[in-house]
Amino acid sequence: MQLRYSFRLYPNGPQRGALARAFGCARVVYNDALRAREAARSAGLPFPKTGDLSKLLITKAKKTEARAWLGEVSAVVLQQSLRDLDTAYRNFFDGLKGRRPRMG
């Protein structure tokens, strides 16, 4: 027998702000990485690796004045957004090659 639990969170004001910052920063890094991969594809270059994107879009970006606010959130959230993008690309191309079952 398997048990299932359902939880609901009610964050207070500061927690809501912290969650919004984390989700916003993750979205910015995801979109920047997507833009970098699309630019490489249109130029005919190989896709940048996730590690290279992490160095460029997270580590170096935190040191610039325009993206210094990325340092306010955990780096784990930002790195996970890059892993999510990598998984999305892998799933997409595996679907084109017929390695993923079609859902109906």
Tell me the whole-structure pTM to 2 decimals: 0.85
Residues 78, 91: Cα–Cα separation, whole Å: 20
Using one digit for the tens of pLDDT, what is the confidence trace for 39-55? Answer: 999 999 998 999 999 99
* Residue owning tokens 């920063």: 25
Report whether pLDDT(23) > 80: yes
Report helix, strand or coil for 63.
coil
